[in-house]
Copies of this chain bind each other. A is one copy, B any other.
Amino acid sequence: MPDARLQIDGDRLWHSLMALAAIGATPKGGVARLALTDLDRAGRDWVVAQAREAGLSVVVDRIGNIFMRRAGRDANLPPVMTGSHIDTQPTGGKFDGNYGVLAGLEVIRTLNEQAISTEAPLEVVVWTNEEGSRFVPVMMGSGVFCGAFGLDHAYAARDTDGRSVGDELRRIGYLGSRAPGDHPVGCYFEAHIEQGPVLEEAATVIGAVDGALGTRWYDCTVSGTEAHAGSTPMTSRRDALAVATRVMQEVVALGNRHAPHGRGTVGYVDVFPNSRNVIPGRVRFSIDLRNASAALLDAMVGEMRAFVDRLQSESGLAIDVEEVAQYAPCPFEPGCVALVERTAARLGYRHMRVTSGAGHDAIHLARVAPTAMIFVPCKGGISHNEIEDADPAHLQAGANVLLHCMLEKAGIAR
């Protein structure tokens, strides 16, 4: 077991984060570096140059994932892998994704400096288009790598200007030749800011992420009759919004009833005709339900549908609920999760188990390799926002945990 005094260089990690954040920097202090744009190319080029300087070999696959490898003593062992993404939201921050990639590079630099070799190879990966802001589906590169969907499906995705993933990969010079998923992965760790308030509220530095919540997405449409707000008595109304708001309340109540992991959110609302003195004739809105297991999700959905059925009979208005998407809950590998926890404890960091409510490349990796994630707090839990911020000491702590987890799994070559 490597000495707990072995630490990454927190300043160097911070400066690399600031250097990458300069590419696509926004006036408000954030980063806008959308997948497969010229800025994404510039970011990739910068990361690849850093990797080469650190002595890593670089291979790009056909969906543009960048594999930066440090050889192990035993070339036959599958690599211990880490990584994340460097594409951002249109008004993104400096840390989401970028932290996972640069923490991986910092691990490599630390091992180089200390002249520590490992039995198994180490790989730091940049996954293509995790954010999905420009091209759908999200988590595209890791999804193709892990067989969640095919290369053709990913290539065919187009942005709002009609440009395809295939064309843009070629244009920016990141259409590699390796077949995605052609090499086995020993295990996968991903360091990431939490993007939520749990760690900060608990004054905790390290989240040992035991999995990701499953999600069910629905579109709900309530159909009433638009009518004059003055000349239509209350008893003659078929007010679509009056019925829709009851469903919206129930969605939130569902999340509350299914604590601790239940989530119920209405994020999108469209009212027709949306005029001050017209009773709404139609309301469409989104329903986002999350929980930690399929059984719990099924229970939430069952309660939601029963509520809607009752309300439909009671109100006489049609309420249509259509499923839009499903993302299954994803438990991470217990051994890897326990290793994160044990490592945090050994290094003396306050830690706790958490479950990710957001999507991450690690969720795809969990299909093909033992996987866990390492969360660190972000300020106010705010992410996908230009004011996204994190404490350098927390980022350093997360990278230290990553370093020791990778060393433990790869084994120090004596």
- List residues of chain B with CB within 8 A of the CB of A271: 267-269
Listed stretches A59-67, A302-310, A343-351, A378-386; interface member: A378-386
> A288 touches which one: B262, B277, B357 (CB < 8 A)?
B277
Q: A357-B228, A358-B228 are in contact. Are A267 and B280 (CB under 8 A)?
A: yes
> A267 touches which one: B233, B248, B277 (CB < 8 A)?
B277
Task: Indicate if A55 sits at the interface (CB-CB under 8 A).
Answer: no
- List residues of chain B with CB within 8 A of the CB of A288: 229-230, 276-277
Cβ A231 vs Cβ B268 within 8 A: no
Task: Indicate if A115 sits at the interface (CB-CB under 8 A).
Answer: no
Most B C-beta atoms less than 10 A away, residue of A215, A230, A384? A230
Cα(A227)–Cα(B245), bound, Å: 20
Q: A215-B230, A358-B231 are in contact. Are A278 and B274 (CB under 8 A)?
A: no
Interface residues on A, range: 35 or more
- List residues of chain B with CB within 8 A of the CB of A190: none
- List residues of chain B with CB within 8 A of the CB of A295: none
Closest chain-B Cβ to A364's Cβ sits at a distance in Å of 16
Q: Which residue of B lies closest to A280 (CB)?
A: B267
> A233 touches which one: B246, B260, B278 (CB < 8 A)?
B260
Cβ A234 vs Cβ B249 within 8 A: no
Residues in A176-230 with C-beta less than 8 Å from chain B: 194-198, 201, 213, 215, 217, 227-230
Q: A268-B276, A276-B268 are in contact. Are A195 and B252 (CB under 8 A)?
A: no
How many copies of this chain does one complex carry?
A: 2
Cβ A276 vs Cβ B217 within 8 A: yes
Task: Indicate if A57 sits at the interface (CB-CB under 8 A).
Answer: no
Closest chain-B Cβ to A236's Cβ sits at a distance in Å of 5
Cβ A245 vs Cβ B248 within 8 A: yes
Cα(A17)–Cα(B290), bound, Å: 58
Q: Which residue of B lies closest to A274 (CB)?
A: B268
> A249 touches which one: B245, B266, B280 (CB < 8 A)?
B245
- List residues of chain B with CB within 8 A of the CB of A263: 229-230, 232-234
Task: Indicate if A92 sits at the interface (CB-CB under 8 A).
Answer: no
Cβ A196 vs Cβ B268 within 8 A: no
Q: A217-B276, A242-B249, A246-B249 are in contact. Are A357 and B268 (CB under 8 A)?
A: no
Task: Indicate if A356 sits at the interface (CB-CB under 8 A).
Answer: yes
- List residues of chain B with CB within 8 A of the CB of A373: none
Closest chain-B Cβ to A300's Cβ sits at a distance in Å of 12
Cα(A231)–Cα(B276), bound, Å: 35
Residues in A317-342 with C-beta less than 8 Å from chain B: none
Cβ A232 vs Cβ B275 within 8 A: no
Q: Which 3 A-B pairs have the closest CB atoms?
A: A230-B357, A196-B231, A229-B265
Provide a sorted-by-A list of 13 A–B residue pairs whose CB atoms are within 8 angstroms.
A196-B227, A196-B228, A201-B236, A233-B263, A234-B256, A234-B263, A241-B248, A241-B266, A242-B249, A245-B249, A265-B277, A267-B274, A277-B288
Besides the contacts A228-B381, A232-B357, A267-B278, what 12 more A-B pairs have beta carbons closer than 8 Å? A196-B227, A229-B263, A229-B288, A229-B290, A232-B381, A234-B255, A246-B249, A249-B249, A267-B276, A268-B276, A277-B288, A278-B384
